[in-house]
C-alpha cells in the first residue's frame, strides 16, 4: 500500500500520543466550526469572532506558554495546532499567532508580574484580544527606522506616531506597541480606550480577507508608567517575538499546502477530459509529485526545528530557513492546485485560490522572502547585505 498522501514519510510515527490527540481535536474543531463558515467570511471580508471563545476553551491561545492559564504544550504540538488552523485559512492561524506569539509572548517574556497576571489568563481564554504594532507606513522591512516615539512626562509616557497592517487591530483590547524612547526601542501596552488611540480597519484587501487588519494612531496618548514592558530592550525584543511567531508560520502554512494537495488529488481523480480522469495525465501527476515532495521536505524541516526549539538550540537563521522555504512551497502548491482545478479553481467553491491569495501575505509578513534570504546569507557568509 502507498504511504498516506499527507504523511508520505510516516512522520506520524515520530509523534507522541499527546501530539496526535491535540491534532485530532483541533482538526475536528476546524472541520466542525470553521470550514463551514470560512469561505463566506473570506468573501465578505470579516474575521469570524464567534470562534474566539472556542479557541480559548481548547487551549489554543498562547498554547506554548507555561502557567497563567496557558496550556504549556511542546513545540511540535504547538506547530500541529498552527497547521490545523491554517488548513482552514491563514487568517485564522494569524489570529492565533498574533494573540499567542506576538502579544502573550512579549508580556510573558518582557512583562512585569502584574502585567502577566492581568493579561495572560484572560488572553488564554480569549476574553481579551491583543495586537502587535511594529510596522509603520514608512518602515516595514526596516522596523529599526520607526518614527513612533514615547517620551516620559511625570508619571506617564506620551506616545505619538502610527502603525499599519496590524492584525487584530480593530478587535484588540490591548496593543503591544514598539516605540523609540531615549533608551532605545521599548514595548508598551496600550489599552483600547486610551484617549488619543485610534484604530481603523484596512479595507479592499484581496488577501487575508478573513483576518482583521488595521492602522493604529497615537496622538499624545498618555500611558501609565507601569504599562511599559520593563524587560523590553531594543529592537531585539520585537525580533524575539517574531522568531516565536515564524516557527508557527513555518508549521501553519503546511496546513494550507496539505489542504491544497488533497483538493488537487481528489479533483484530478474526478475531472474527466479526453475521456480520462486528468489524474491519468503525466503532466498532472508531475505537479502532484512535486507538491507532495515539497510538503514532505517542509514537514521534516518543521519537525527538526521544533526539536531544536525545545532543546534550547534553535538559531533564528534556522527559523528563517523554515519560514522562507515553507511559505514559498505552500504558495507554489496553492498555485499548482488552482491550475489543476482549471476554471473551477478561480471560485471560492474550492479552497485553492483563497489559500493562494492568503499566502501572498504570508510571503511578505513576518520578514519577506527576500529578508529571510538576507538573514541566511549573513549566517552563511558573516556579511550583512541588508543595506
Ligand X SMILES: Cc1cc2nc3c(=O)[nH]c(=O)nc-3n(C[C@H](O)[C@H](O)[C@H](O)COP(=O)(O)OP(=O)(O)OC[C@H]3O[C@@H](n4cnc5c(N)ncnc54)[C@H](O)[C@@H]3O)c2cc1C
Rounded CA-CA distance 32/207 in Å is: 24
Rounded CA-CA distance 242/187 in Å is: 14
* Cβ closest to ligand X, residue 29 vs residue 165: 165
* Cβ closest to ligand X, residue 103 vs residue 264: 103
* Cβ closest to ligand X, residue 59 vs residue 367: 367
The answer to whether residues 321 and 301 touch, using CB atoms and an 8 Å cutoff, is yes
Q: Say which residues have a Cβ less than 8 Å from residue 81's Cβ, sequence separation at least 6.
A: 22, 23, 26, 60, 63, 73, 96
Query: Could you please report the per-residue DSSP string of 326-375?
Result: HHHHHHHHHHHHHHHTGGGGGSTTSSHHHHHHHHHHHHHSSS-HHHHHHH
The answer to whether residues 90 and 205 touch, using CB atoms and an 8 Å cutoff, is no
Tell the smallest beta-carbon distance from residue 172 to ligand X (Å): 10
* Cβ closest to ligand X, residue 164 vs residue 292: 164
**Inter-CA distances, 371 with 6, 172, 196, 253, Å:** 30, 28, 34, 18
Tell the smallest beta-carbon distance from residue 168 to ligand X (Å): 7
* Cβ closest to ligand X, residue 143 vs residue 277: 143
Rounded CA-CA distance 84/78 in Å is: 10
Tell the smallest beta-carbon distance from residue 54 to ligand X (Å): 22
Q: Which of 84, 136, 263, 366 is catalytic?
A: 366
Residue nearest to ligand X (CB): 140
> Within a 10 A sphere around the Cβ of 278, how many other Cβ atoms?
19
Rounded CA-CA distance 31/87 in Å is: 10
Cell numbers that stand for 284 in this block: 498532472
Tell the smallest beta-carbon distance from residue 97 to ligand X (Å): 9
Give me the residues that bind ligand X (CB under 6 A), please: 98, 132-135, 140-141, 165-167, 208, 213, 361, 364-366, 368, 370-371, 374, 386
**Helix (DSSP H) and strand (DSSP E) numbers for the chain:** 12, 11
Helix 316-340 and helix 236-270: axis angle, to 10°?
A: 30
* Cβ closest to ligand X, residue 11 vs residue 239: 239
Could you identify the residue written with the cell 468573501?
43
Helix 90-97 and helix 35-44: axis angle, to 10°?
A: 90
The answer to whether residues 360 and 331 touch, using CB atoms and an 8 Å cutoff, is yes
Tell the smallest beta-carbon distance from residue 371 to ligand X (Å): 6
Q: Which helix (H) or strand (E) holds 117?
A: helix 113-125
Cell numbers that stand for 246 in this block: 515564524
* Cβ closest to ligand X, residue 292 vs residue 361: 361
366 is catalytic: yes
Tell the smallest beta-carbon distance from residue 247 to ligand X (Å): 16
Tell the smallest beta-carbon distance from residue 312 to ligand X (Å): 27
At residue 236, φ and ψ (nearest 5 deg) are: -65, -20
Query: Known catalytic residues?
Result: 366
Amino acid at each position: 500500500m502507498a504511504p498516506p498522501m499527507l504523511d508520505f514519510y510516516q512522520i506520524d510515527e515520530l509523534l507522541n500520543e499527546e501530539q496526535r490527540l491535540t491534532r485530532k481535536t483541533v482538526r475536528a474543531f476546524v472541520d466542525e466550526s470553521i470550514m463551514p463558515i470560512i469561505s463566506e467570511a473570506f468573501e465578505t471580508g470579516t474575521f469570524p469572532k464567534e470562534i474566539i471563545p472556542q479557541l480559548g476553551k481548547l487551549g489554543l491561545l498562547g498554547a506554548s506558554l507555561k502557567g497563567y492559564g496557558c496550556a504549556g504544550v511542546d513545540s511540535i504540538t504547538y506547530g500541529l495546532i498552527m497547521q490545523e488552523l491554517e488548513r482552514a485559512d491563514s487568517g485564522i492561524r494569524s489570529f492565533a499567532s498574533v494573540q499567542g506569539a506576538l502579544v502573550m509572548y512579549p508580556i510573558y517574556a518582557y512583562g512585569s508580574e502584574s502585567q502577566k497576571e492581568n493579561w495572560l489568563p484572560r488572553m488564554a481564554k480569549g476574553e481579551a484580544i491583543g495586537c502587535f504594532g511594529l510596522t509603520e507606513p514608512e518602515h516595514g522591512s526596516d522596523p529599526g527606522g520607526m518614527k513612533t516615539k514615547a517620551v516620559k512626562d511625570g508619571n506617564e509616557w506620551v506616545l505619538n506616531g502610527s502603525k499599519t497592517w496590524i492584525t487584530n487591530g480593530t478587535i484588540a483590547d490591548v496593543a503591544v506597541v514598539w516605540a523609540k524612547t531615549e533608551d532605545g526601542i521599548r514595548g508598551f501596552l496600550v489599552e483600547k480606550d486610551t484617549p488619543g488611540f485610534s484604530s481603523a480597519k484596512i479595507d479592499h484587501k484581496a488577501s487575508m480577507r478573513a483576518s482583521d487588519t488595521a492602522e493604529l494612531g497615537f496622538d499624545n496618548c498618555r500611558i501609565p508608567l507601569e504599562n511599559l514592558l520593563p524587560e523590553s530592550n531594543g529592537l531585539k525584543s520585537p525580533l524575539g517575538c517574531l522568531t516565536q511567531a515564524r516557527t508557527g508560520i513555518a508549521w501553519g502554512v503546511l496546513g494550507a499546502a496539505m489542504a491544497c494537495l488533497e483538493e488537487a488529488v481528489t479533483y484530478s481523480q474526478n475531472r474527466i477530459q479526453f475521456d480520462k480522469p486528468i489524474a491519468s495525465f503525466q503532466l498532472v501527476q508531475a505537479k502532484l509529485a512535486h507538491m507532495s515532495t515539497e510538503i514532505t521536505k517542509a514537514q521534516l524541516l518543521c519537525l527538526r526545528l521544533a526539536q531544536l526549539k525545545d532543546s534550547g538550540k534553535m538559531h533564528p537563521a534556522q527559523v528563517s530557513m523554515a519560514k522562507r522555504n515553507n511559505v514559498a512551497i505552500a504558495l507554489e502548491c496553492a498555485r499548482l492546485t488552482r491550475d489543476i482545478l482549471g476554471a473551477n479553481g478561480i471560485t471560492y467553491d474550492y479552497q485553492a485560490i483563497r489559500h493562494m491569495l492568503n499566502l501572498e501575505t504570508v510571503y511578505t509578513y513576518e520578514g519577506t522572502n527576500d529578508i529571510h534570504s538576507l538573514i541566511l546569507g549573513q549566517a552563511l557568509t558573516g556579511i550583512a547585505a541588508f543595506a
